[in-house]
A and B are shown apart, each in its own frame.
Chain A
């Protein structure tokens, strides 16, 4: 079955710096890759997703890149702010299987 690895497990940056979180997946049939942000005491919230027919997607300060050949995808956050501090999860899904496989999470801390 699918396996998703996520790195790093923790990431500390200064406000205004960029943050990059990387995930690799094992099943070449995976074609949907969402990213979730989970704040303390809340459920994960979708922040951006990408499908396998595109290589990059941006939404303001957040971008995701996908390399299907290497089977990895990354989340990029620019101009980080303290409110970006949270746990971030990547996931991979396959059309028709209705399930997502999640990475192990990255705890991002943005210091003022």
Chain B
């Protein structure tokens, strides 16, 4: 069983607030990813990292930012939340190419 954790699981917050979504994995994986997903819909890659101090933007443009200061930790930040940011955010990690990505259970974010 993969060990990747996301907190909080649910967050309802007002417009304009700064938000940080946490993602941690205990498998020592170098590669980590953030996806945005509307419920039951396709996954859109918004950020990824190949290792410490490496971050890249994904295929879907996002106003969020990420950091990778430690191997196990890959937080996502929204400086000023807006209703358009309402979605589910999934974090994943992998050992390498041709290896499966392991997903957390996601954070469901609602911006009022």
User: B residues touching A (Cβ–Cβ < 8 Å)?
Assistant: 6, 31, 33, 40-43, 45, 48, 50, 59, 90, 92, 94, 96-106
Contacts and interface: CB of A to CB of B under 8 A. Distances in A.
Interface of A: 1, 31-32, 34, 36, 38, 41-46, 49, 51, 87, 89, 93-100, 102-105, 107
Output the residue of B42, B43, B59, B96 with the most chain A CB within 10 A.
B43
Contact of B104 (A31, A43, A97, A98): A43
B42 A104 contact: yes
Contact of A42 (B59, B101, B105): B105
Nearest to B99: A32
Contact of A49 (B92, B100, B104): B100
Contacts of B33: 99
Given A43-B106, A45-B103, A96 B40 contact: no
A44 B103 contact: yes
Nearest to B40: A87
